[in-house]
Amino acid sequence: MQVLFVWDANGSDDPEAARHVVEGGSPEEDIRRTALELATAAWKQREITDLWVERIAPQWPPRRQPGVDRALIRLAVWEMTSGGTPPKVAIDEAIELAKQFSTEQSPAFVNGVLDAVLKEQRALTSAAGATGGPGTKPEGAGDVSPEAPEQAAESSESREPSAPTSPTPEP
Residue with the bigger pLDDT between 4 and 139: it is 4
Give pLDDT, residue 167: 52
Q: Where is pLDDT greater, at 144 or 129?
A: 129
Q: DSSP of 1-25, one letter per residue?
A: -HHHHHHHHHTS--HHHHHHHHHTS
pTM of the shown model: 0.73
Domains of the chain: 1-44 (no CATH), 45-171 (1.10.940)
Q: What pLDDT does 132 receive?
A: 58
**Predicted pLDDT of residue 157:** 38
Q: If you average pLDDT over residues 129-157, what whole number do you get?
A: 44
Identify whether the C-beta of residue 93 lies closer than 8 Å to the C-beta of residue 76: yes
Distance CA 125, CA 52 (A): 16
pLDDT at 154: 37
Across the chain, what does the average pLDDT equal?
80
Using an 8 Å Cβ cutoff, are 87 and 119 in contact? no
The 10s digit of each residue's pLDDT in 101-114 is 999 999 999 999 99
- Name the pLDDT band for 163 (thresholds 50, 70, 90): very low
Q: Name, in order, each residue with C-beta under 8 angstroms of 161's C-beta and a sequence gap of 6 or more.
A: 112, 115
State pLDDT tens for residues 21-67.
888 777 788 888 888 999 999 999 999 999 999 999 999 999 999 99
**pLDDT recorded at residue 86:** 94
Of the given ranges (53-62, 75-84, 106-115, 133-142), which has the lowest mean pLDDT? 133-142
Residue 170's pLDDT band (boundaries 50, 70, 90)? very low
